[in-house]
């Protein structure tokens, strides 16, 4: 399916303000209470998230610089945003390039108007000239032996967004870099199948319901709470220090 004319009537800024993020779809799979806490307390940065963002920005900047001068495009409607993303990816497929997104330069987005989410994948590899392959890079404390479900759901949301732009998606690449380590990057292939679609769709529906006031089902895993940025604020925290 490709962007349709009806999306011209939806202002981009308005859609952005009402949509959920693809990253929240991943967070839901870590712990549903993250959705409530983000709404209540806002985004919280930790040394780990700051370091992860810094590494991503460095890598994205290199990729974007290599593309040469870029044309600035005015995006007014949801249709504009989708066409902008689609054209950039089509060009990258023609030129067999890799595209990346940085804080300052968004070259493509994954957008699902019907579900109401938007996300900015780290990279899309168009070097085979046929299908854009979404690439997501995560920085973790340990080398995982299989992809984490929350990361699979996030990259799945990106892939569904690519499909909505009209691109065939059969798999994405999930890369793990171990924090403060020279260990090589570990890459997993995440296949686009019914399981992945269900991961995305079921969590997106639940997020919309939680944001409308439903109670989340928080994790029962104390280790998740210990490493959680909301551990001292969250009413469901299993690791909060006594007041």
230 binds ligand SF4 (CB under 6 A): yes
Least distance from C-beta 227 to ligand SF4, angstroms? 8
Least distance from C-beta 146 to ligand SF4, angstroms? 21
Total residues in contact with ligand SF4, by rule CB under 6 A: 15
Query: How many CB atoms sit inside 10 A of residue 82's CB?
Result: 25
Q: For residue 13, give both structure tokens.
A: 């800024």
Nearer to ligand SF4, 183 or 233 (CB): 233
236 binds ligand SF4 (CB under 6 A): yes
34 binds ligand SF4 (CB under 6 A): yes
162 binds ligand SF4 (CB under 6 A): no
Nearer to ligand SF4, 47 or 69 (CB): 47
37 binds ligand SF4 (CB under 6 A): yes
Within 163-222, the residues that bind ligand SF4 by CB under 6 A are 218-219
Nearer to ligand SF4, 40 or 50 (CB): 40
- Crossing angle for the helix pair 149-164 and 194-211, to the nearest 10 degrees: 100
Nearest to 89 by CA among 33, 16, 163: 163
228 binds ligand SF4 (CB under 6 A): yes
Least distance from C-beta 23 to ligand SF4, angstroms? 15
Least distance from C-beta 179 to ligand SF4, angstroms? 19
Q: For residue 227, give both structure tokens.
A: 């490493």
Residues near ligand SF4, by CB under 6 A = 31, 33-34, 37, 218-219, 224-225, 228, 230-231, 234, 236-238
């Amino acid at each position: 399916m490709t962007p349709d004319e009806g999306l011209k009537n939806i202002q981009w800024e308005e859609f952005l303000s009402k949509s959920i993020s693809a990253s929240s779809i991943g967070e839901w799979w870590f712990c549903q209470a993250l959705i409530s806490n983000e709404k209540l307390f806002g985004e919280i940065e930790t040394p780990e998230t700051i370091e992860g963002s810094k590494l991503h920005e460095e890598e994205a900047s290199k990729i974007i610089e290599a593309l040469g001068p870029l044309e600035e495009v005015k995006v007014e409607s949801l249709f504009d945003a989708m066409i902008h993303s689609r054209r950039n990816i089509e060009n990258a497929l023609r030129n067999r390039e890799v595209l990346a997104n940085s804080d300052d330069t968004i070259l493509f987005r994954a957008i699902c108007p019907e579900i109401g989410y938007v996300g900015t994948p780290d990279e899309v590899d168009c070097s085979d000239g046929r299908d854009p392959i979404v690439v997501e890079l995560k920085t973790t404390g340990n080398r995982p032996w299989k992809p984490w479900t929350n990361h699979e759901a996030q990259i799945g949301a990106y892939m569904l967004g690519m499909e909505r732009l009209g691109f065939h998606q059969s798999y994405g690449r999930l890369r793990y870099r171990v924090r403060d380590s020279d260990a090589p990057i570990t890459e997993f292939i995440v296949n686009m199948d019914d399981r992945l679609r269900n991961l995305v769709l079921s969590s997106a529906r639940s997020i919309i319901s939680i944001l409308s006031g439903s109670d989340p089902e928080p994790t029962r895993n104390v280790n998740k709470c210990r490493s959680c940025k909301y551990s001292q604020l969250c009413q469901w925290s299993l690791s909060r220090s006594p007041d």
